[in-house]
Amino acid sequence: MLRSTVSKVIWVGRATVFLVGLAVILAVVLGVATAALAGTGVGATSNLGKLNTVNQISRLVGSTDNPMLRVDNNGAGTNATALDLQVEPDHAPMKVNSSTRVAGLNADLVDGKDASQFMASSTYMREFNPNGTFPNQGGPGTLKNDGTRVISQSCDSGDRLLSGGPASVDSGTTPSVVLDSFPSDPVTWTARIKPAAGGDNWTVVVLCADQQP
């Protein structure tokens, strides 16, 4: 009876050792496999929705008459972008090997400059054109208390003022005197003169860049 009981205890002990050893082996194997599935290291599986760490370039090479990769984000939130590229300061987020224009690609800045900092290639001139002349009042424009006259001429709204100034100012025996000539706002040029005694039908001309699309 005693011998039978001891034999059973020994058998249970051996079985227990075997199971514990098997558990350790499985833990080691499955642990390594889990680490591989987490996308860590060269050659590891890249898991979606997981942090995948690798310090080597990952390449997708093929030949097809279609895009090689598509990222489609159907979210409607304000931050629902299809791609997020992050780099250290002063590093470009990507590089390309083609200068072909990408249709529909919008950029906030071009070489660090906003669109408002670039001048359009289309320009035009505009001249103040009063209704008639006023020789008895010293010419066109707004009469000031000191006897001087002021004329302002503007570009179209949204365009850029490039330059301007008074034109056709009387330069006779007793000429008119230009007292002020300056851009009074981003699209307007203003000039002030003291007209000649006999009057002066002078104007203000502006040169504008057509910034309208």
| Residue pLDDT, tens place only, 25-54 | 555 555 554 544 556 778 788 888 888 888
pTM (whole model) above 0.85 = no
Give the structural domain span for 138. Answer: 123-209
Number of domains forming the structure of the chain = 1
Phi–psi pair at 46, nearest 5 degrees: -95, 115
Residue 192 lies in a domain: yes
Phi–psi pair at 89, nearest 5 degrees: -55, 145
Residue 132 lies in a domain: yes
List of residues 6+ apart from 47 with CB closer than 8 A: 37, 38, 39
Residue 98 lies in a domain: no
Phi–psi pair at 53, nearest 5 degrees: -115, 125
Residue 174 has pLDDT above 90, yes or no: no
Q: Among the listed ranges 141-145, 178-182, 195-199, which one has the minimum average pLDDT value?
A: 195-199
Residue 198 lies in a domain: yes
